[in-house]
Structure 1
C-alpha cells in the first residue's frame, strides 16, 4: 500500500487516511488511484461494512495537486486516468463517511461530497474555489452541491469561490453531523461502528435507491460538467489563474 494512503481495518470499519500532509493532502493521481483501489477491494470484502475517509494532520484535502493541474490540458480527455478513479470512488456500494477537519476544498470537497454521510468539525472550511483558477469543479461537485443546496446557493459558492464553515454546511443540510474541533474522526468512527452492526444488504439497496432518486436524473449534467472542466484546462485563464496562485497575487483573467 502506498504511503500516500494509510489503511486500518477494525470491527467491520475501514479507516482511510489521506496522507500528504506537506501539501494539506492535495489529491494527486497516485493518491486517487490508491483510494479507488482500496475501495474496490473493500467492496468485495464481506468483512468490511463501512468506510471512513479523513485527512492527516488536521486537514481533509485542500484540493487537486496544483503541479499536476498546471500540466493538464483539454487533450487529456478520456485518456486521463483520474476520470476512471473518480468513477470507481463514486460507485463504492457500501456506506461511506467523510470526516472533515480543516480545509476541504476543490477536489477535496468533491471527494467529501461523494460520501454518503459527511461529518464536519464546526470550524472546518469547505468550498469550490476552482473559479479563481479559471476552472470549475470537474468531479461532480457542481451537481452534488446543486442537488443538496439548490441553484442559488450553489451559484454563489461556485461563482465566488467562497468557503463556508462546517457549522454553516450543517445548517444548510450539506453535512449529516457537526461536532467540535478535532472531534470529526471520532464522531465518524462511532457512526461507522453503529452502521457496521446493521444489515449490509439492506444498506446497500438503500444506498442504491437514494442515489437513483437524486443522481440518476443528473447523469447528463455530470457529463456536461466534466466536459466543461476539460475544455477549461487549455484556456489562457486557467494558465493565468494557476500562475497567480503560485505568485500569491490576484489573477487578471482575459476570457480566453
Structure 2
C-alpha cells in the first residue's frame, strides 16, 4: 500500500491505476480528507505516462454508503461557503484519462456522486444507488442533481431525488446510469478486463474522445461537432495515427505509444 494515503489504497496493475476507498468499517463513508486523497491519487495517475486507464472501487461491503454526517452536522452555511469543499470534486472533471468505477453494495449520497464522476460504471447485482439527502433535510451538493439529470432526464431524476429511494443495479442499468451489471464475485475481474481492453487503445484517442463526449453533454450539436472536428484533425499530428493506419494496411496489431 502506498504510505502517502491513509483512507484509500493505491496500486498499479500493468497499465491500470487502481484507487480503492478504504474505510470498510464505516462502509467507506466519504469525508473531506478522503476526497482529497482520491483526487490526488487520480491526478497522479493522470500524469503518469505508464498508466492508461484509472479504476475506482471500494474495499469491503460497500463502494461508499454516503458522506460522513458527523463531519457536517453542525456546520453553518458561512463555514461551508468559506471552506468551498467541492472544488476538490471539480478537479475530477478535469482528469483526461478514462475512469472506470466498480460498485458493490451501496453507492449512496456522496458515494453515488463519486460514482457519477466515473466515465464508465460496472456494478454488482447487489449494488444500490440513491440520494437519501432529502431525508436529512439537505440535498446533493457535489453534482448529484446535475449529473443524474443529464443521464436520465428531468422527470426520472426528480423522482429519485425527491423521494430518496434506492435504485437497484437493474434499474440503474435501465436508465443509463451504469454500463454493466455483473455478479459480485466477478466485479473486479470484469472491471479490470474491460480496463485492460481500453488501455490497449491509442492514448491520445482515448483522451480526445473523452473530451469530445463530455462536451456533447453541455454543448449544442453544432458546437459539439466543431469541437469533435478539431480533435479529429489534431490526432493526425500524432505518431499513433500513422502507426494505427499503417498497421491496418499491413494487417497487424498496432503498437501505440501515446505520441
TM-score (norm 2): 0.81
Q: What does residue range 45-84 of structure 1 map to in structure 2 within 5 Å? A: 45-80=48-83, 82-84=85-87
CA RMSD of aligned residues (A): 1.3
Structure 2 equivalent of residue 95 of structure 1: 98
Structure 2 equivalent of residue 227 of structure 1: none
How far does the alpha carbon of each residue in 1:44-88 deviate from its partner, in whole angstroms, 9 at most, with x for none? 111111111111112100111111121322113443252221011
For structure 2, list consecutive stretches of 5 or more residues without a partner in the other structure.
221-259
2:45 partner SS: helix
Structure 2 equivalent of residue 165 of structure 1: 168
Structure 1 runs, 4 residues or longer, greater than 3 Å off: none
Which shifted more, 182-191 or 208-217? 208-217
Alignment coverage as a number of residue pairs: 217
> 140, 144, 148: which one pairs with 1:141?
144
Q: C-alpha distance in 2, partners of 1:216/1:62?
A: 33
How far does the alpha carbon of each residue in 1:135-174 deviate from its partner, in whole angstroms, 9 at most, with x for none? 1111111111111111111011000000011111112211
> 21, 26, 40: which one pairs with 1:18?
21
Q: C-alpha distance in 2, partners of 1:182/1:124?
A: 12
Asked whether the 8 Å contact 1:123–1:167 carries over to 2, the reply is no
Q: Which has the higher contact order (CA 8 A, sep 6+)?
A: 1
1:71 partner SS: coil
TM-score (norm 1): 0.81
> 192, 195, 200: which one pairs with 1:192?
195
How far does the alpha carbon of each residue in 1:172-229 deviate from its partner, in whole angstroms, 9 at most, with x for none? 2111111112322221111111111111111111111111111468xxxxxxxxxxxx
1:42 offset after TM fit, Å? 1.2
For structure 1, list consecutive stretches of 5 or more residues without a partner in the other structure.
218-256
2:65 partner SS: coil
Q: C-alpha distance in 1, partners of 2:166/2:130?
A: 4
Asked whether the 8 Å contact 1:59–1:100 carries over to 2, the reply is yes
1:130 offset after TM fit, Å? 0.6
